[in-house]
Amino acid sequence: MKLEAVELLRLNVPLKGAFRTSFSSINTHQVLWVHAITDVGEGWAECGANERPDYSSEFHHGAATVLKEFLLPDVFALGDDLNAEAVAPTLHWAKGHRMAKAAIETAVLDAQLRAAGVSLASYLGATKARVPAGVSVGIMNSFDELLTHVEGYLAEGYLRIKLKIEPGWDYEPVRLVRETFGDDLLLQVDANTAYTRDDFDLLKRLDDFNLLLIEQPIEEEDILGHAKLAAYIETPICLDESIVSADIARDAIELGAAEIINIKPSRVGGYIESRKIHDVSVANNIPVWCGGMLETGIGRAANLALAAMPGFTLPGDTSASSRYFEVDTTEPFVLRDGHIDVPTGPGIGVDPIREIVDSYTVSQEWVRAL
Ligand code: OSB
Ligand code: MG
């Protein structure tokens, strides 16, 4: 196959309510989409980069720029030798920029699979038709507000709750949620690197609550620090930000820093690298689950396909469209019995709804081979 043109779209998608983490509070999700036009058909992908380099070093305009200046020209230059498996090796020379790389690889993969009539789920080796859904709950202004939100999500049927934490919003909110909703609630926390090696005693206090895991308590680069913390506390350490490749996953596991892994395809450079992380984790008896970056339907569909692989034994952040959006960019994903159906159609299995996408689009540009 051959890449003929790429449309880069920027969307501003309003959220139902503010989403606050240890690194930001947002009311609008700014999204970059990659729409690939190939000789065998089109493909779609949502780039995981945030507007600001606050979750990782990547950000919206940076991703668009590196795509236009360096990544897309090399993919165009493959000519008829293009296929999704060739994208990562071709772009390997460019350091980092995994979210940008993931976006072009995924758009090409979507086009390739649509043309072949194969779903992303079957391409990845998925074994489940539906996946259990968890929900990520932001930092709130009050405990009342927190309990109201958690109660609402549980009433909708979500099977596990993840609380965002930061210094000053950790022990008490977790205690309240545990005491209010009982010992059977699947409960975990995510610090997005908000703590340091000086906070180990504070983090150890969270052992009181029988949490499934604590996600990324300290710096992305501090894998050894996570290993030290894992040896010091009972709560399993789950890495998110730190795991940027299958090689890093292997090392973190060997060091004892990753007792569980959150796989986010955007963070690691795409679905093919995600499958490698899945495989290295399964080989080492490390449970994995699928994280998210507030994806709209295009990205959510692809994440559900990944989450349907056999090693994904914990509920992911693959919640329903209605968790974040009044109106999603595709047919909405809905929660039924705490689960979400994995798309079965070719490629990612969903199509953007043009009128809705247009209403969210703030800019659009075409990139072509020189
Ligand atoms: O750390 O998992 C994270 C959202 C944006 C950036 C980072 C994270 C998150 C979430 C929500 O926790 C995931 C989602 O619901 O898509
Ligand atoms: Mg996280």
What CATH number has the domain bearing residue 317?
Answer: 3.20.20.120
Residues 136 and 275 in one domain: yes
Å from CA of 162 to ligand 2 middle = 10
Q: Per the domain annotation, does 347 fall within a domain?
A: no
CA-323 nearest atom, ligand 1? 15
Residues 317 and 363 in one domain: no
* Token representation of residue 80: 């008829």
pLDDT confidence of residue 145: 98
CA-294 nearest atom, ligand 1? 16
Q: Per the domain annotation, does 308 fall within a domain?
A: yes
Question: Quick one: which of 346, 266, 249 has its CA closest to 303?
Answer: 266
* Token representation of residue 136: 């990520």
When divided into structural domains, the chain yields a total of 2
Ligand 1 and 317: CB distance under 6 A: yes
Residues 233 and 317 in one domain: yes
Whole-angstrom CA distances from 182 to 140, 159, 174, 323 are: 20, 13, 12, 23
pLDDT confidence of residue 272: 98
What CATH number has the domain bearing residue 56?
Answer: 3.30.390.10
Residues 231 and 326 in one domain: yes
Domain range enclosing 24 = 3-117+354-368
Q: Per the domain annotation, does 203 fall within a domain?
A: yes
Residue 264 among the catalytic residues = yes
Residues 128 and 252 in one domain: yes
Residues 138 and 277 in one domain: yes
Residues 106 and 130 in one domain: no
Ligand 1 and 75: CB distance under 6 A: no
| Average pLDDT value for residue range 121-133 | 98
Q: Per the domain annotation, does 82 fall within a domain?
A: yes
- Closest C-alpha residue for ligand 1 atom 12: 136
Ligand 1 and 55: CB distance under 6 A: yes
For residue 185, how many other CB atoms are within 10 A of its CB? 17
Q: Per the domain annotation, does 346 fall within a domain?
A: no
| Average pLDDT value for residue range 104-123 | 98
The reported pTM is 0.97
Residues 199 and 279 in one domain: yes
Residues 104 and 151 in one domain: no
Q: Per the domain annotation, does 349 fall within a domain?
A: no
Is 87 within 8 Å of 105 (Cβ atoms)? yes
Residues 68 and 140 in one domain: no
Ligand 1 and 294: CB distance under 6 A: yes
Task: Encode pLDDT of 267-313 as tens digits.
Answer: 999 999 999 999 999 999 999 999 999 999 999 999 999 999 999 99
> Which listed residue (2, 68, 101, 164) is catalytic?
164
Residues 213 and 358 in one domain: no
Residue 164 among the catalytic residues = yes
Residue with tokens 């690939």: 36
Q: Per the domain annotation, does 307 fall within a domain?
A: yes
Q: Sorting pLDDT into bands at 50, 70 and 90, what band is 247?
A: very high
pLDDT confidence of residue 369: 87
Q: Per the domain annotation, does 348 fall within a domain?
A: no
pLDDT confidence of residue 345: 98
Residues 101 and 132 in one domain: no
pLDDT confidence of residue 370: 78
Å from CA of 19 to ligand 2 middle = 13
- HEC letters along the chain: CCEEEEEEEEEEEEEEEEEECCCCEEEEEEEEEEEEEECCEEEEEEECCCCCCCCCCCCHHHHHHHHHHHHHHHHHHCHHHCCHHHHHHHHCCCCCCHHHHHHHHHHHHHHHHHHHCCEHHHHHCCCCCEEEEEEEECCCCCHHHHHHHHHHHHHHCCCEEEEECECCECHHHHHHHHHHHCCCCEEEEECCCCCCHHHHHHHHHHHHHCCCCEECCCCCCCHHHHHHHHHHCCCCEEECCCCCCHHHHHHHHHHCCCCEEEECHHHHCCHHHHHHHHHHHHHCCCCEEECCCCCCHHHHHHHHHHHCCCCECCCECCCCHHHCCCCCCCCCCCCECCEEECCCCCECCCCCCHHHHHHHEEEEEEEECC
CA 368 to chain centre: 29
Å from CA of 199 to ligand 1 middle = 23
